[in-house]
Amino acid sequence: MRAVFLFAIIAICIKGLQAQDANFSQFYAASSYYNPAFAGAFDGKYRVRLVNRSQWVGEDVKSLRTFGILGDLKFSLKSLDLARDYFGLGIYFISDRARALDFTSNEAAVTVSYHKILDKKKVNYISGGLSLGIIQRGLNYDQFVFEDQFDGVDQYNGNTKEILPPNISAKPDLKLGVQWNTQMNAKYRLQTGLSTHYTLRPQLSYYKALDDVDYIGEKNSLAFVKLNFIANLTYSISSLRQLYPRLLYSYQGPHQLAVVGANYRHGFYSLKQTAVHAGAAIRVAKSKNLYTPVDLVLQSGFEMKNFILGLSYDFGLRNVISYGRPSHSFEISITLLGDYDDGGFICPEF
């Protein structure tokens, strides 16, 4: 009943919320958004996550806010004599809002995954998943300013003749993903996954549906298929200390993005199963055959039993290089796991 109640809260939020692709520094806290095969891949029966990112804080013209709410459930197959295989079912809502033109992008989807055990020792899993969703994008024309036309003599007093299309569009989207999770030995565990976004190559042009004989510009703008690769390595220094090197690599048309970093976790079993986290990462982007360091990411977190709080701060390296001063972005994530499998520490999200 608790899981049903939490999913009902998510459904209500999705119905009431309204705001380009989300880009989280704590991508591991939104793993099922990046790869549908990650839905259900956790220790427990259900999981609810909230992620909020405020990007370019202090830059009023450029500021961007990204919000995500995600939830997933696990269903074992014991009744089908497949004791170690299980399904994952999830939903998510991601919202982006850029203040410059009041540009909003909303994405809501349902995710299904299947996790197949590969050996009797339960140390190797292979998973496949898909998500079906809707992408909605909108512009607020009240934020646009056009110059009046020149009258040919000495004044700009003619009416603006811009041809503006409908400012809201919604397109279906399909994501596909695979994942491999293996316990290599007593100290190392590896999780990797590859997924496709914009698999159906949705039409993103606002002008496609414009019915105006005076418009002679381009009406097509098909989205490039995006590939996401994620690798998470767990190195157990001891039962209470772990190191987590992580990688996110995204490839879409002429653009590439990579986030590389590591987090350290120190647990305190005697203090009600609490743990603290600290780490750092760097974000690098490629556009027009040029690789540029974008952000230095500093991360911290606190964990108590099945509750995890994550914080991150992005120091804008690209802005330092280009403008002599950094940009600032802040992110917070909250994760709640229910009915986790063992009586000790959960498998952390960091």
The Cα 99–Cα 91 span in angstroms is 27
Residue 153 covered by a domain: no
Structure tokens at 232: 């998470």
> Does some domain include residue 178?
yes
Instruction: Give the pLDDT score at 227.
Output: 96
Yes or no: say if 281 and 294 are a contact pair by the CB < 8 Å rule. no
User: Do 44 and 339 touch, CB atoms closer than 8 A?
Assistant: yes
Separation of alpha carbons 175 and 101, rounded Å = 28
Longest dimension (CA), the chain: 85
Please check whether residue 103 lies inside any domain of the structure. yes
* Structural domain contains residue 107: yes
Domain count along the chain: 1
Residue 139 pLDDT? 83
Of 23, 25, 21, residue with least CA distance to 311: 25
CB 127 within 8 A of CB 116: yes
Q: What is the per-residue pLDDT for 2?
A: 47
Asked if 333 and 49 count as a contact pair (C-beta separation under 8 A), the reply is yes
Beta bridge partners of 75: 87
What's the pLDDT score for residue 12?
39
pLDDT on residue 215: 79
Q: Taking Cα atoms as reference points, which of 240, 208, 236 lies closest to residue 221? A: 208
User: What was the pLDDT predicted at 108?
Assistant: 96
Q: Is residue 157 part of a domain?
A: no
What range does the domain containing 91 cover?
A: 2-143+164-338
d(CA 104, CA 141): 12
Residue numbers of the chain with a pLDDT score lower than 70: 1-20, 58-62, 78-83, 100, 145-153, 155-161, 271-272, 340-350
CA distances from 105 to 21, 40, 97, 142, 143 (A): 8, 26, 7, 17, 16
How far, in whole angstroms, is CA 277 from its chain's centroid? Answer: 20
Asked if 24 and 257 touch (Cβ cutoff 8 Å), the reply is: no
Of all residues in the chain, the percent with pLDDT exceeding 90 is: 48
Q: How far is CA 9 from CA 35, 67, 91, 94, 135, in A?
A: 23, 15, 12, 15, 21
In a domain? residue 152: no
What CATH number has the domain bearing residue 222?
2.40.160.40
Q: Is there a domain that residue 149 lies in?
A: no
Query: For residues 212 and 207, what is the distance between their CA atoms, to the nearest angstrom?
Result: 10
Residue 214 within a domain: yes
Q: Measured between alpha carbons, how far is residue 98 from residues 16, 63, 137, 286, 332 in Å? A: 19, 6, 11, 22, 18
Q: What pLDDT is attached to residue 14?
A: 38
Neighbours of 290 (CB within 10 A): 7
